[in-house]
Copies of this chain bind each other. A is one copy, B any other.
Amino acid sequence: MDAAEFRRRGREMVDYVADYLENIEQRPVYPDLEPGYLRSLIPSEAPLEPESYEDVMKDVERVIMPGITHWHSPYFFAYFPAASSYPAMLADMLCGAIGCIGFSWAASPACTELETVMLDWLGKMLQLPECFIAGTDGHGGGVIQGTASEATLISLLAARCKAIRRVQATNPEISEAEVLSKLVAYTSEQFCATLGTTPSCAFDHTTELGPICNDENMWMHIDAAYAGSAFICPEFRPLLNGIEFADSFNFNPHKWLLVNFDCSAMWVKKRTDIIGAFKMEPLYLKHENQESGLVTDYRHWQIPLGRRFRSLKLWFVFRMYGLKGLQAHIRKQVALAKEFESLVRADKRFEICAEVIMGLVCFRLKGSNELNQNLLKKITKSQEIHLVPCQLSGRFVLRFAICARTTESRHIQQAWRHITQLTFELLQEPSH
């Protein structure tokens, strides 16, 4: 395929994408098929000769679409949102074309520098303490990780490295293995200090945990993977209080800030803590500016060596929406969750199982876990809306998360009508 054909096929793909997203409501949100469905639909080996583009695109509808869980359907209420927006998709096209691998400043200065500045923009939107902002006189700064898991792992490894060095500084004779055997990581059921847990969007008391960590010289990492995006709204910002005690912090714009996956934003108070743990310098990655103290080589901040130009997505989204547009998106989704909460509370057969603070409603039928499991089975089987459960204090609970950018009040109302209809059918069944 040459550039001329790409111009033609690219336009077709843009239209396919727009058609897909405009008409996504008409597809069943959750697929109905058996594991292994795909293997029988395509050959068992790659073709020897090239195939036509038309044949490939025909197979997208024949092979792929029947097996898709449509995360961007307005009837998708499962897990947490996977952010998506047109500006982010355009930026991703540009990212793919530039195709630079930004492991060092020299490998594409714009890739590194835009990332640093975008993490400053985002940090300021969240009113992070100045010590996390790279463009101050401080020692902190931000980086884009792939996922919250990677951000947490990086924090753990950096904390471990720092602790070992601290002990060895005063006890030079002690071995690394000996220090290692005595290190302790304190976690809750969700691992680290969390703002907005996955099961129920609960918040740890970081203003209480923080001073203890600081007094005891413990590394404190705060994960706000989902909820973090909401802190750009002044009314939610108090939930981030305690951040001043943290050594590192991350949240996922790819969840709730209209930036397509993957983009997990992470900040550290001291860049040297993280770089100290991962630095590696073969000659083929050295460049003449690296000792200047002015450049960031992000390969020292992460597990992978290679990295894409992901800050373009942030830049496009921040500018095309503006802070006000992003705040409006958060507020709209929280309001939709409140709307659903009201519907649940008005029906005495149901109960709300956790305080609704953001875009997640945890609810259940008053009754046994089995009853609620059966309700969820009916919901899943119907393919009209999609939810997943969670477990809260031993109880089987349904999670209703506002996910798609295009979910409106009418979808919430329709979803609730559907749930109550299935509830009616369930309660009519002989076993109840």
Contact = CB atoms under 8 A, between A and B. Distances in A.
B147 A306 contact: yes
Interface string A118-153: 001110110000000001000000000011111001
A262 interface: yes
Interface string A1-31: 1111111011101111110111000000001
Residue picked from A47, A94, A106, A319, most chain B C-beta under 10 Å: A319
A90 B57 CA distance: 10
A186 to B, nearest CB: 18
Given A261-B99, A318-B46, A284 B198 contact: yes
A276 interface: no
Interface in A282-335: 282-285, 288-289, 292, 294-295, 303-306, 308, 312, 315-316, 318-325
24 contacts: A7-B18, A10-B18, A10-B89, A34-B294, A35-B113, A37-B109, A44-B120, A44-B121, A47-B322, A48-B324, A50-B320, A67-B113, A68-B111, A71-B108, A92-B92, A99-B261, A149-B303, A153-B303, A198-B282, A254-B306, A284-B388, A284-B389, A284-B399, A303-B303
Interface stretch (A78-86, A204-212, A238-246, A349-357): A78-86
A261 B308 contact: yes
A50 B47 CA distance: 47
A322 B68 contact: no
A181 interface: yes
Given A135-B44, A304-B149, A320-B56, A101 B114 contact: no
The 10 closest A-B pairs by CB, nearest first: A67-B110, A10-B14, A38-B113, A147-B304, A35-B294, A17-B97, A6-B86, A50-B322, A1-B86, A67-B109
A390 interface: yes
Nearest to A145: B304
Contacts of A72: 97-99
A214 interface: no
Q: How many copies does the complex hold?
A: 2
Interface residues of A, number: 132
Interface of A: 1-7, 9-11, 13-18, 20-22, 31, 33-39, 42, 44-51, 53, 55-56, 60, 63-72, 79, 82, 84-90, 92-94, 96-101, 105-111, 113-114, 116-117, 120-122, 124-125, 135, 146-150, 153, 177, 181, 198-199, 254, 260-262, 282-285, 288-289, 292, 294-295, 303-306, 308, 312, 315-316, 318-325, 377, 380, 388-391, 396, 399
B147 A17 contact: no
A293 to B, nearest CB: 9
B69 A107 contact: yes
- Dominant secondary structure at the A interface: helix
Nearest to A153: B303
Nearest to A42: B117
B390 A284 contact: yes
Contact of A125 (B46, B93, B120): B46
B94 A93 contact: no
A330 to B, nearest CB: 14
B94 A17 contact: yes
A149 to B, nearest CB: 5
Given A9-B90, A39-B135, A283-B389, 7 more contacts: A6-B86, A10-B10, A11-B11, A31-B110, A35-B113, A71-B101, A261-B306
Contacts of A4: 18
Contacts of A153: 303
A14 B89 CA distance: 12
A67 to B, nearest CB: 3
Contacts of A116: 39
Contacts of A113: 35-39, 67
A150 to B, nearest CB: 6
